[in-house]
Amino acid sequence: MNFLDKAAKSAAENVTAWRDRFGDRITGGRPSRPRFLDGGNACGVIAEVKLRSPSRGDLAGDTDYLALPRIYQSAGAEAVSVVVEERYFGGSPELFDQVRDRTDLPLLWKDFVVHPFQIELAAHLGASAILLIAGLLKGKDLADMIDRARAVGVRPLVEIHDENELNLALDAGADLVGVNNRDLVTLEVDLELSWRLAPHLEGSVQGVAESGLRNPQDVIRMADLGFRAVLVGEAFVTSSEPLKSLADMVRAGRRECHPR
């Protein structure tokens, strides 16, 4: 069983546990959040709160990770991503709740979504956007999840890793596509993937470059390729100076670029 299969199995188990913890509380109103990647002509930075990595283990260490949302906002991040998967990434819906209370920025719920309940819970807890992985959701399932997210006011970010998955995402109606430079089967990172797939993001489709981006030069390159945003996590969580690291990337992304 490869990592993506393991993560999908864990996500299904999380759904059961989360129903017990939140199931009777997701029918009311939801906190109001700003729209995700709304307008703008720069390459924004989505800064991530991620406590663990399946390839690197514990990331936060002695870092006050609950201070990160305020640091991200003060450094100019356009949005904050929160990894809520529990077994492999050390996240939880409660972590999302804590982050939400510490920033006014749009929030991305980052998970291995396999059930509509995850979308409902994300919306209830105030997510502005939710990650949907094309490698997990095929054909009609992906289209249904996109429609469901939009119906509850959450923007779907559809993650892909190759041209075939990109075509699946576009056929399903995605207008925001994340190119994950990390292969979720092998966990290897190839930054050239964003370069190869960028020309296929056309028209009204916005692109987000994900994984392996660590410095302002990486952001400039993605901006020049036309990406609307970059998603960066480990570089900030493990940095001794996350405020400076993020501010440098934000400045790099504000160079003139041409978001799709």
**Residues 222-230, mean pLDDT to the nearest whole number:** 93
The H or E element that residue 148 is part of is: helix 140-151
137 in Cβ contact with 145 (< 8 Å): yes
Residue 181 falls in the annotated catalytic set: no
Give every CB contact of residue 102 below 8 A, 6+ residues apart in sequence.
Answer: 66, 69, 70
Q: How far apart are CA 87 and CA 52, in angstroms?
A: 9
Residue 27: the pLDDT is 63
pLDDT band at residue 42 under the 50/70/90 scheme: confident
**Residues 53-65, mean pLDDT to the nearest whole number:** 73
Q: Is the pLDDT of residue 123 over 90?
A: yes
Residue 180 falls in the annotated catalytic set: yes
SS3 179: strand
- Which of the following is catalytic: 110, 120, 181, 194? 110
Q: Answer positive or negative: Cα dihedral of 207, 60, 95, 97.
A: negative
| 106 phi, psi to nearest 5 deg | -60, 145
225 in Cβ contact with 200 (< 8 Å): no
Residue with the two structure tokens 């991530």: 48
Residue 245 falls in the annotated catalytic set: no
Q: Counting Cβ atoms within 10 Å, is residue 211 exposed (0-12), middle (13-18) or buried (19+)?
A: buried
Architecture of the 3-21+37-253 domain: Alpha-Beta Barrel (3.20)
pLDDT digit string, tens, across residues 62-104: 678 899 999 999 999 999 999 999 999 999 999 999 999 999 9
pTM of the model: 0.92
- Which of the following is catalytic: 180, 181, 194, 245? 180
- Which of the following is catalytic: 53, 181, 211, 245? 211
Give every CB contact of residue 198 below 8 A, 6+ residues apart in sequence.
Answer: 179, 207, 225, 226, 227
Strands 176-180, 155-160: pairing kind: parallel
- Which of the following is catalytic: 48, 85, 86, 120? 48
Residue 9 falls in the annotated catalytic set: no
- Which of the following is catalytic: 50, 78, 86, 165? 50
Residue 254: the pLDDT is 87
Residue 78 falls in the annotated catalytic set: no
**Residues present in the chain in total:** 260
**Residues 222-243, mean pLDDT to the nearest whole number:** 90
pLDDT digit string, tens, across residues 178-211: 998 887 777 777 878 888 999 888 778 999 999 8
Residue 110 falls in the annotated catalytic set: yes
- Which of the following is catalytic: 86, 92, 210, 245? 210
Q: Answer positive or negative: Cα dihedral of 102, 245, 213, 65.
A: negative
SS3 245: helix
Residue 256 falls in the annotated catalytic set: no
- β-partners of residue 44 are 229
Cα 145 → chain centroid: 16
The mean pLDDT value of the chain amounts to 89
| Structure token digits, residue 200 | 């296929």
Strands 57-58, 52-53: pairing kind: antiparallel
The domain locations on the chain are 3-21+37-253
- Which of the following is catalytic: 78, 86, 120, 159? 159
